Amino acid sequence: MKDVNIREEAGKLNAQLVEWRRHLHAHPELGFDTVETAAFVVERLGEMGVTEIRTGVAKNGVAAVIRGDLPGKVLGMRADMDALPVREETGLPFASTVDGRMHACGHDAHTAMLLGAARLLTAHRDKLKGAVKLIFQPSEETGSGAPAMIADGVLENPKVDAFIGLHTGNFWTGVDAGEIGYSNGPLMAAADMFTITVTGKGGHGATPHRTIDPIAIGCQIYTTLQTIVSREISPLAPAVLTIGTFQSGSAGNIVPPDCVMKGTLRALTAETRKELQDRIRGIVEGVASAMRGSASVEFHYGPPPTTNAPEMTAKLLRAAGAVVGPEHVREVDEPTMGGEDMAFFLEKAPGVFFFHPSTFGGGRDYPHHHPKFDLNEDVLWTGTGTMAQFALTWQDD
Ligand code: NI
């Protein structure tokens, strides 16, 4: 790789990355409906001379192959493209032009950075071993885009042997803009949703003894569920159980027939995830039955924990070090309990998901999904550079 200086080439590309990101930022699309975004991606790839492009993968996903001149394996490089149903309040000149939609998680930057990596790799096909498959994914925020693309065959023809992906922004600490963050353990959590339905027996509020009050049962279930994390899961195993909605009833003098709660659970290992699910079910059914009612829980499974393969993490450290300097490649302080559907890809082949810090500092950083969320565009090149350098070197040694 002596005659290719990706650090320098990526740096020179930053103005282009900013332009692409701003266009995408101004035109956010939700879920699987990333029509214009996909068209933008396909146009840019066409300009780079990429011809092997499959569109319409899981509705509006794009998969494009760049083949190297040297024999080797296939690396899947993934970026998510979807925005959020948030009304933007940044006041930026390139703010969302669509009311009620915003790129408030940085997926606009992910798409731009992967396009940048594609640009660098198309210029170095003679040094590229095997091929890269660029995966532009819709609907990350629902946790359903990655499995839908997998079901639609995105990992075949050519078959993907390994993965790389990144998340930009500010949700991991311990690293600053211009650096690259990694984790040797899990980086993000398994994230499942669930719905609990309690069935009682409705009646007049003045004759509670002739009813089975689902609100009373629901309150006991809510309270008892809090003891799973505090009393049952090991204090050394991170776990979250949140009930976000509790709905029942229509008037003050009526005992309603049922009550519905919705929540989410997070865990960093498959074992803790299973334990949470089993105990929620046990408590929901047991408490309801003890109080003469009945209840059931339905799980809506999200992504598993995002966990990197150690050998791929080692390759990332080498690639990122060549781009930002080894002293600027640092382990993040701790994982986040947020979920990430990249985890579905990492279940299929070994890979690495890394953190691209794009903070401003000085109080300018708003949380992801906030109407004022923004990211530091000066460092877009470090994400592009790390991805491209990884693609060119991961099969060395
Ligand atoms: Ni995100």
In the chain the first and final C-alpha atoms are separated, in Å, by 13
Report yes or no on 41 lying in a domain: yes
pLDDT number for residue 3: 73
CATH of the domain at 218: 3.30.70.360
- Any idea which residue has 């690495």 for tokens? 352
Q: Using the 3D structure, point to which of 271, 300, 329 is the last residue of a domain.
A: 300
- How far, in Å, is the centroid of ligand 1 from the Cα of 369? 8
Tally of domains in the chain: 2
Q: Compute the distance from residue 81 Cα to the ligand 1 centre, in Å.
A: 9
Do 161 and 201 lie in one domain? The reply is no
Question: How are strands ordered across the β-sheet holding 61-67?
Answer: 52-57, 61-67, 129-137, 70-80, 162-169, 351-357, 180-182, 329-331
Cα-to-centroid distance, 139 and ligand 1 (Å):
10
Q: Which portions of the chain are predicted below pLDDT 70?
A: 1-2
Q: How far is the CA of 149 from the centre of ligand 1 (A)?
A: 17
User: Which residues lie below 8 Å from residue 261, measured CB to CB, with a gap of 6+?
Assistant: 195, 196, 198, 218, 221, 222, 243, 245, 246, 247
144 and 30 in one domain? Answer: yes
Residue type at 228 in one-letter notation: I
Instruction: Write out pLDDT tens, residues 288-325.
Output: 999 999 999 999 999 999 999 999 999 999 999 999 99
Residues 212 and 93 in one domain: no
- Distance between Cα 382 and ligand 1 center (Å): 18
> Which domain covers residue 19, as residue numbers?
6-188+305-393
Task: Tell me, yes or no, whether 225 and 98 share the same domain.
Answer: no
Do the Cβ atoms of 129 and 72 come closer than 8 Å?
yes
Are 93 and 124 within one domain? yes
Q: Are residues 156 and 290 in the same domain?
A: no
Q: Residue 185's pLDDT is what?
A: 84
How far apart, in whole angstroms, are the C-alpha atoms of residue 140 and residue 119? Answer: 24
Residue at 54 is within a domain: yes
Q: What is the longest distance spanned by two Cα atoms in the chain?
A: 85
Quote the ligand 1 centre to 166 CA distance (angstroms). 10
**What separation in Å is there between the alpha carbon of 168 and the centre of ligand 1?**
8
Cα(210) to ligand 1 centroid in Å equals: 50
Q: Is residue 1 part of a domain?
A: no
Residues 28 and 138 in one domain: yes
Q: Within this chain, do residues 311 and 177 fall inside the same structural domain, yes or no?
A: yes
Domain endpoint, select from 248, 270, 300: 300
Question: Domain check: are 157 and 229 in the same one?
Answer: no
CA of 106 to the centre of ligand 1 (A): 6
CA distance 52 to 36: 19
Residues 142 and 267 both lie in one domain:
no
DSSP assignment letter at 102: B
Indicate the residue among 237, 269, 300 that finishes a domain.
Answer: 300
Residues 179 and 194 both lie in one domain: no
CA of 93 to the centre of ligand 1 (A): 22
Whichever domain contains 357, its CATH number is 3.40.630.10
How far away, in angstroms, is 306 Cα from ligand 1 center? Answer: 13
Provide the CA 341 distance to its chain's centre, in angstroms. 5
Q: Which of 67, 163, 111 is nearest to 390 (CA)?
A: 163
Same domain, 85 and 143: yes
- pLDDT score of 361: 93
Q: Please give the distance, rounded to the nearest whole angstrom, from the Cα atom of residue 141 to the centre of ligand 1.
A: 7
Q: What is the pLDDT of residue 216?
A: 98
| Inter-residue contact 172 to 181 (CB < 8 Å) | yes
Find the 230 Cα to ligand 1 centroid distance in Å: 29
In a domain? residue 51: yes
Give residue 167 CA to ligand 1 midpoint distance, Å: 7
